Structures are given as C-alpha cells and as structure tokens.
C-alpha cells in the first residue's frame, strides 16, 4: 500500500516520496496522457477490458475534477497526486488534491443549512456543480453508478472535514476516517481485479 501512504502524506502534509504507483500531475494533461497506459496495466493485472476502461474513466473524472474546481484555489501545491496499488484481489486507487474542498465548492450553489457531510452526499448522488450555471455536475454520479455496477468494493472520500462512504467493507474507512488535519479532497477506491 505504498502508493496510498504517499497520497495520504500529500493530502495531510503536502509532501510525498516518488514511488512505484505514485503519479504527480501539476496539469491535467499529465493525467490524461497516462490513461491508456493505466488501462493496459489494469488489463495486464487481470481486469477485463471493459472493467479496466471504466475504472480509468473514473480516475480521469476524479483527477479532472481536481483541476476544474480548484484553479486559482489551491492551498499550496497545485494539481493532484494519483496512487495505484495492485493488491491480491483489487486495485486500490487514491487521488488527492490540496484545493478548496467539495463542500466549499458546492456551498455557493447550495446555500442553507446543509452540513458538510450532507453536501458531500449531494455531490455524489445529485446532479449539481460548484461551477453552476455551467451545465455540468454529473461526474461524481457517474463514478458512483459505475462503482456500484462494475466491481467497486469500497469508496471513501474525505473533503471539507466530511466523509462519504460506499460499499460494505471497512478497511478503507478504518485507514482514512481518523485523518482530520488536511487540505483539499482525498478519494480512495478499491476496485475488484477480476
């Protein structure tokens, strides 16, 4: 789980060590240029082509979200850090940025009494965007639907002092939920390899 460890370090302390499976992107093109390679890597590790493509589409959406919603809003380091761990029965994908956080982005378009946990749920389950009135806001729903239908085991998102969880497994929740001192957004997904 070396990659996840470095992504957590980036999320908490703005520091990480270059390691296998750790990819730094200060510009979205650095993520987008790697997508085909990651898809082929997932297939080499046993994923069916359709599942590999969907998993990479999910990574692409998450990483591009970092740039779409944080341009000019980075706390310190711009961009994101992507981690890919290949475990016995799953891929563990982690993506962190040090941006403004999802709830802070959405509060502008969803003012009112919603707390940050509720805003995070809205982000994943409703069509809404912090960049309204632009017609967008389906990315996290896309991720959630494909997670449920195509091999997702566990998803945990930490952002704006809130947590969003999907799946029945507790390992990622156990690792991530104690983290309280951070900037930005961290999303970690376990995805079945077979």
Partner 1 sequence: MSVVEIRKFGEALASRSEGREAGLSTLAYDFEGLPPDEVTLDFNNVLIMTPSWLGEYVQTLMSRGVKKINYINTSPVVDSSIEFISEEI
Binding residues for partner 1, per CB under 8 A? 28, 31-32, 35-36, 39, 50, 53-54, 56-57, 60-61, 63-64, 68, 127, 135-139, 141-142, 145-146
**With contact defined as beta carbons under 8 Å apart, do 189 and 93 qualify?**
yes
Nearest-approach distance from CB 164 to partner 1, in angstroms: 19
- Is 35 or 175 the residue whose CB approaches partner 1 more closely? 35
CA dist., res. 153 & res. 20, Å (int): 23
For partner 1, the closer of residues 126 and 171 by Cβ is 126
d(CA 162, CA 185): 10
- Least distance in Å: CB of 44 to partner 1? 15
Asked if 119 and 160 touch (Cβ cutoff 8 Å), the reply is: yes
- Which residue number, 13 or 142, has a Cβ lying nearer to partner 1? 142
- Min CB(146)–partner 1 separation in Å: 6
- The CB-of-29 to partner 1 minimum distance in angstroms stands at 8
Of 6 and 61, CB closest to partner 1: 61
175 with 147: CB under 8 angstroms?
A: no
CA distances in angstroms from 154 to 30, 79, 134, 176, 190, listed in the order given:
26, 24, 31, 12, 5
* Inter-CA distances, 71 with 79, 105, 133, 141, Å: 9, 12, 17, 22
User: Could you give the CA distance from residue 111 to residue 170 in angstroms, rounded to a whole number?
Assistant: 32
Rounded to a whole number of angstroms, the minimum distance from the CB of residue 136 to partner 1 is 6
- Name the residue among 139, 48, 137, 54 with its Cα closest to residue 93: 54
The least distance separating partner 1 from the CB of residue 131, rounded to whole angstroms, comes to: 9
Nearer residue to partner 1 within complex by CB, 28 or 90 = 28
Residue nearer to partner 1 on the CB measure, 69 or 92: 69
């Amino acid at each position: 789980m070396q990659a996840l460890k470095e992504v957590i370090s980036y999320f908490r302390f703005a520091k990480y060590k270059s390691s296998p499976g750790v990819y730094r992107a200060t510009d979205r093109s650095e993520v987008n240029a790697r997508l085909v390679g990651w898809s082929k890597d997932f297939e080499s590790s046993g994923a069916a082509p359709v599942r590999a493509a969907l998993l990479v589409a999910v990574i692409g959406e998450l990483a591009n979200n970092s740039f779409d919603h944080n341009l000019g809003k980075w706390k310190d380091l711009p961009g994101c850090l992507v981690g890919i761990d290949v475990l016995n029965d799953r891929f563990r994908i982690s993506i962190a940025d040090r941006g403004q956080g999802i709830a802070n982005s959405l509060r502008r378009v969803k003012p009112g009494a919603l707390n940050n946990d509720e805003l995070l749920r809205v982000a994943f389950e409703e069509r809404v965007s912090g960049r309204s009135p632009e017609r967008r806001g389906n990315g996290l729903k896309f991720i959630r639907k494909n997670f449920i239908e195509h091999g997702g085991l566990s998803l945990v998102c930490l952002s704006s002092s809130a947590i969003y969880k999907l799946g029945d497994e507790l390992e990622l929740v156990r690792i991530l939920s104690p983290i309280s001192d951070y900037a930005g957004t961290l999303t970690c997904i376990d995805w079945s390899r077979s």
